[in-house]
Amino acid sequence: MKYIAIIAALDSLDSAGRMEARVPQNPTEASAVPAAPAPEVNLPTMMEIMNINKEFALRMCF
């Protein structure tokens, strides 16, 4: 159960980071500033980070 909780927490942090990068912090800035393009995802780097997160979770649980 610990493993599932840690992975869920890491996944939610990852999702929150992506949303933070795409959503303007101040709603008034959204109309004044042109929309920024969505950041490209570097898949090999993303997979490496997820593998590190999984390894960390495994070491913390067992």
* Domain, as residue range, for 11: 1-20+44-62
Rounded to whole angstroms, how far apart are CA atoms 19 and 53?
19
Rounded to whole angstroms, how far apart are CA atoms 35 and 22?
9
Question: Is residue 2 included in any domain, yes or no?
Answer: yes
Question: Is residue 6 included in any domain, yes or no?
Answer: yes
Question: Is residue 29 included in any domain, yes or no?
Answer: no
**How high is the mean pLDDT of the chain?**
68
Question: Is residue 12 included in any domain, yes or no?
Answer: yes
Question: Is residue 5 included in any domain, yes or no?
Answer: yes
Question: Is residue 39 included in any domain, yes or no?
Answer: no
27-55 pLDDT, tens digit each: 555 555 666 676 777 888 888 888 888 88
pTM confidence score: 0.37
